[in-house]
Amino acid sequence: MHPIPVILIFDIGKTNKKLFVFNEAYRVVHELSIQVVEIKDEDGFACEDIVTLSEWIKSSVALLKQDSAYTIKAIHHAAYGASLVYLNEEGKLIEPLYNYLKPFQQSTKNLFESSFGSIDDISLATASPYLGNLNAGLQLYRIKKEKPALFQKIKWALHLPQYIHYLVTDELATDITSIGCHTMLWNFAHHSYHHWVKEEGLDKLFPPLKTSVGLHDSSSALIPYLSSFHEPFVLISTGTWCISLNPFNEIALTTNELKQDSLCYLTFAGRPVKASRVFSGKEHELGVEALNKYYNKPAEYFSTIHYNKSVHIDENFITEDLSSSEDFETAYHNLVAKLVRKQIISTNLILANTQVKRIFVDGGFSNNEIFMNMLATSYCEFEVFAAAIPQASALGAALLVHQKWNTQAIPNNLISLQYYSTKTNEKGKL
């Protein structure tokens, strides 16, 4: 039996870390995964165990290179953003990989503004709402000001996707999708690092910009849709964060949009994609935990609940007080309804003044019939689809380098759509 040509794709999320092996038809022929237990940084704050993750990545590549069933033609990567990995002069890892949810000191923000002016103005120029350590540029600034001894050791700063690329290839590079994801580093109008980055000398820590060196996962997840659909659409990519992406909204961000957590991503081609975000995946996880504890249900019980449009929805519902919910079904419908209301507010920010008529939902919530029916009912003037696309961000990373490894044409059936009708609250397949 002859080995088949394949591409390896690392898809590194905040919770799940996976390696997919795609054949030339973009079917997954092998999969590896690991869940890495978080460790603590020097301040006792939870963070990624980058050493364990690094060892798993290298060992997984070595394992598959030895597998006679495959001929590895290419390796590419997609990973979550807002996380910087630091290397010293010898190219060795400097721990830790700080958690982007770590609080950002007000005194450091004050110092930044005293040096460079209003952070709101810089947010507008960089299409990045102020998010503290969720702005990767401010992570590096924080280290320079709060931990100067550590900063002196840093020779290179790599975004997580490009660190994975470095692990596999030994090549140092920066990618535009990582630089352009709410980092507060990139001046969107000037197509260069913002002047504050240059004044602090931080631009010298980032290797040269290159392509096909890993992708920010949200930008990567958009690639299969841009390849398959040409009429204006919005993609709601759901996971820990539920990110609404509108590649057909070229209206400049406003201060009001920034304050509501809107931002712009950059595509692999360097074009802005207006986006908005809400932390619904995490809120769903915590909410389900509360419901399970209150009603004494197993972890995945929520997945057995079907949509029931007759359930009473209480707009004041909170998981901290479940006494008003008569059963798990009622409480879970109310939890999802709360998340859908937040989703609508978020998605509306990027829908305004565009020609979008279709909304695609992928990721975890696309499989949640309660979420999908409630969303479709709220967006009755749009066509709402659950998109069944296996491993969207991984697939996007593979598609981007298609010509480098694949001798076949890109299939035209990569995405399966399930239409949610607002008239019947029934789903139909396309």
* 35 and 98 part of one domain: yes
* 151 and 288 part of one domain: no
- Where does a domain end: 213, 246, 269? 213
User: Is the predicted pLDDT of residue 390 greater than 80, yes or no?
Assistant: no
Query: Which CATH number is 132's domain given?
Result: 3.30.420.40
Specify the DSSP class assigned to residue 413: -
Chain segment 294-339, per-residue pLDDT in tens: 999 999 999 999 999 999 999 999 999 999 898 999 999 999 999 9
Residues 6+ apart with CB under 8 A from 268: 175, 176, 177, 211, 215, 219, 223, 400
User: Is the predicted pLDDT of residue 290 greater than 80, yes or no?
Assistant: yes
Q: Give the gyration radius of the chain's Cα atoms.
A: 22
Confidence of residue 240 (pLDDT cuts 50, 70, 90): confident
How confident is the model at residue 79, as a pLDDT? 97
Q: Strands 427-429 and 46-47: what pairing?
A: unpaired
* 24 and 122 part of one domain: yes
Structural domain boundaries, residue 63: 4-213
* 194 and 301 part of one domain: no
> How many beta carbons lie within 10 A of that of residue 111, not counting itself?
15
How confident is the model at residue 356, as a pLDDT? 94
Alpha carbons within 13 A on the beta-carbon side of 319: 21
* 153 and 190 part of one domain: yes
- Where does a domain end: 179, 213, 247? 213
How confident is the model at residue 362, as a pLDDT? 87
- Where does a domain end: 163, 194, 213? 213
Span 4-15, average pLDDT: 95
Asked if 34 and 56 count as a contact pair (C-beta separation under 8 A), the reply is yes
Chain segment 115-149, per-residue pLDDT in tens: 999 999 999 999 999 999 999 999 999 999 999 99
Specify the DSSP class assigned to residue 97: B
Q: How many domains does the chain have?
A: 2
User: Is the predicted pLDDT of residue 83 greater than 70, yes or no?
Assistant: yes
DSSP H or E run through 62: helix 50-65
pTM reported for the whole predicted model: 0.84
How confident is the model at residue 1, as a pLDDT? 75
* 327 and 225 part of one domain: yes
The DSSP bridge partners found for residue 93 are: 87
* 253 and 119 part of one domain: no
* 204 and 224 part of one domain: no
Chain segment 185-207, per-residue pLDDT in tens: 999 999 999 999 999 999 999 99
Average pLDDT for the chain: 93
How confident is the model at residue 179, as a pLDDT? 96
* 182 and 264 part of one domain: no
* 244 and 364 part of one domain: yes
At 86, which amino acid appears?
A: Y
How confident is the model at residue 423, as a pLDDT? 60
Asked if 278 and 343 count as a contact pair (C-beta separation under 8 A), the reply is yes
* 180 and 281 part of one domain: no
* 285 and 392 part of one domain: yes
Asked if 159 and 140 count as a contact pair (C-beta separation under 8 A), the reply is no
Q: Where are the extended beta strands (E) located within 226-290?
A: 233-238, 242-246, 262-266, 272-278
